[in-house]
Structure 1
Amino acid sequence: MLTVKKVLNSSVVLADKEGSEMIVLGKGIGFSRKKEELIDENDVDKIFIPMNESKNEYILELIDEIPLEFFELTKRIVALAEKKLNTKLNNNIFLTLTDHLHFALDRYRNGINIANRLYWEIKNYYPKEYAVSIQAVEFMNQRFNVSLSQEEAANIAFHLINAQSEDNSTDSLATAKMIGGIVNMVKYSIQTKIDEDSVHYLRFITHVKYFVERFYTGKLMDEEDGSELYKQMWTLYPSAMNIGIKVQDYLSKMYNKTISEEEVAYLGVHINRLMNKST
Structure 2
Amino acid sequence: MIPPQRLVIQRVHNNNVVLALDARGRGVVVTGPGVGFGARRGVLVDTERAEAVYVPEDTSRADAAAGTLAQIPPVEILLARGILEQATALTGLARPETLLLPIADHLHHAIARAREGVVIDLPLVWEVRHLYPRELAAGRTALDMIEQRLGVRLPGDEATAFALHFVSATFSGEVLDRTVSMTQALAEIFDVLEEETGTRLDRESEAAARFVTHLRFLFVRLADGRKVTVAPALVGEALESSVPEVVRLAREVAAVLDATWGQHLSVDETTYIALHVHRLLSDAGHGH
* TM-score normalised by structure 2 residue count: 0.71
What CA distance in whole angstroms lies between the structure 2 residues aligned with 1:48 and 1:170? 24
Q: Which runs of 5+ in 1 are unaligned?
A: none
Are 1:29 and 2:35 matched, yes or no? yes
1:39-69 deviations in whole A, cap 9, x for unaligned?
5879754322234476224302212211122
Contact persistence 2:6–2:45 (CA under 8 A): yes
1:114 Cα deviation after fit? 0.9
Contact persistence 2:15–2:35 (CA under 8 A): yes
Are 1:8 and 2:20 matched, yes or no? no
What residue number does 1:205 align with? 212
User: Bigger CA drift: 135-144 or 172-181?
Assistant: 172-181
Q: 2:67 aligns with which of 54, 57, 61?
A: 61
Aligned alpha-carbon RMSD (Å): 4.0
Q: Aligned in 2, Cα 1:53/1:118: closer, same or farther, shift over 3 Å?
A: closer
What CA distance in whole angstroms lies between the structure 2 residues aligned with 1:148 and 1:251? 35
User: Bigger CA drift: 84-93 or 233-242?
Assistant: 233-242
Q: Aligned in 2, Cα 1:106/1:32: closer, same or farther, shift over 3 Å?
A: same
Q: Aligned in 2, Cα 1:51/1:166: closer, same or farther, shift over 3 Å?
A: closer
Question: Identity over aligned residues, as a percent?
Answer: 22
Contact persistence 1:89–1:164 (CA under 8 A): yes
1:146 Cα deviation after fit? 2.6
Q: Aligned in 2, Cα 1:127/1:186: closer, same or farther, shift over 3 Å?
A: farther
1:11 Cα deviation after fit? 3.1
What CA distance in whole angstroms lies between the structure 1 residues aligned with 2:181 and 2:196? 23
Contact persistence 1:14–1:22 (CA under 8 A): yes
Q: Which amino acid aligns with 1:266?
A: E
Q: 2:136 aligns with which of 112, 123, 130?
A: 130
1:159-213 deviations in whole A, cap 9, x for unaligned?
2222222337338666433222224545887979999547x954x4245335557
Q: Which runs of 5+ in 2 are unaligned?
A: 284-288
Q: Which amino acid aligns with 1:249?
A: A
Contact persistence 1:248–1:258 (CA under 8 A): no
Are 1:181 and 2:181 matched, yes or no? no
Contact persistence 1:4–1:13 (CA under 8 A): no
Q: 2:171 aligns with which of 151, 165, 169?
A: 165
* TM-score normalised by structure 1 residue count: 0.73
User: Bigger CA drift: 93-102 or 47-56?
Assistant: 47-56
Q: Secondary structure at the match of 1:73?
A: helix
Q: 1:150 aligns with which of 143, 153, 156?
A: 156
What residue number does 1:112 align with? 118
Q: Secondary structure at the match of 1:245?
A: helix
1:247 Cα deviation after fit? 1.1
